[in-house]
Amino acid sequence: MKVITFLFKLLVISIFVSCSTLSIVTIQDYQDVRIKHKTLLIVLPDSSVYSIEPFSLFEENDFKSKFISEFPKTVELGFINASSFSKIYIAKLKGSIKLNEQQLNLPHGGTLKLLLPDSSEISKDENDQVPDFLLFISKVELSPAWHDDKFGPYEGYQQTITYVFWDNFKNKVVSYGKTKASEQFYVFQHLTYENTLVIVANSPFKK
């Protein structure tokens, strides 16, 4: 019932959310391909990697800690509803897995520096499970945004997510990029959900 209520709220407020793809790249081997019935491990950033620039209202309500707490559940819900994965779960990588910094080019200039597994080994999670694919969310940024309409200016905010999909058995990047959504209200779950839908829609994993 809680999921249904949350989805209804997302539908009602979706007309107030503007989502745009900043820059996304799909590697050629995965273009025009649909991949189904695979498992996905979502690897989230440490709390220190979240860049939160709150309004004073957010600070009073301990906004940052609440945002970081809600973010994983909203991302997971987005993938459950929009992707073709048979299993989606959030966990940490096994401690022995080495991550190396790689620089990936963006289509309109600029680069992303991302931590990715060593291409010579298969990644396992902390419970020794081996997923087919991994989603590394490397950075989450949330900042105030001002909107203007016939009633005058008002406060909202915008969210940017930097991510990369990794093929665990072929040991290579599937797709990567940054997405941004802006929101008129203080309901940050909707931004996370909209960004998640954009990530799925620009991948081989959409339903």
Residue 66 belongs to some domain of the structure:
yes
Cβ atoms of residues 164 and 114 within 8 Å: yes
How many Å apart are CA 33 and CA 26, to the nearest integer?
Answer: 10
pLDDT digits (tens, 9 = 90+) for 35-85: 999 999 999 988 767 887 755 555 545 777 888 889 999 999 999 999 999
Regions in the chain scoring below 50 on pLDDT: 1-17, 60
Residue range of the domain that includes 90: 2-201
**What local confidence, expressed as pLDDT, does residue 147 receive?**
56
Give the DSSP letter string of 106-153: -TTS-EEEEEEE-TTS---BTTS---SEEEEEEEEEEEEEEEEETTEE
Cβ atoms of residues 164 and 116 within 8 Å: yes
Nearest to 166 by CA among 23, 39, 74: 39
Residue 142 belongs to some domain of the structure:
yes
**What local confidence, expressed as pLDDT, does residue 86 receive?**
97
**What local confidence, expressed as pLDDT, does residue 152 receive?**
52
Q: Which single residue is written with the structure tokens 């989606």?
A: 88
Nearest to 67 by CA among 206, 192, 197, 195: 192
**What local confidence, expressed as pLDDT, does residue 107 receive?**
83
Residue 92 belongs to some domain of the structure:
yes
**What local confidence, expressed as pLDDT, does residue 156 receive?**
72
Residue 206 belongs to some domain of the structure:
no
Residue 207 belongs to some domain of the structure:
no
φ and ψ of 31, to 5 deg: -75, 140
Residue 29 belongs to some domain of the structure:
yes
Q: How many domains does the chain have?
A: 1
**What local confidence, expressed as pLDDT, does residue 12 receive?**
38
How many Å apart are CA 71 and CA 54, to the nearest integer?
Answer: 16
How many Å apart are CA 87 and CA 37, to the nearest integer?
Answer: 8
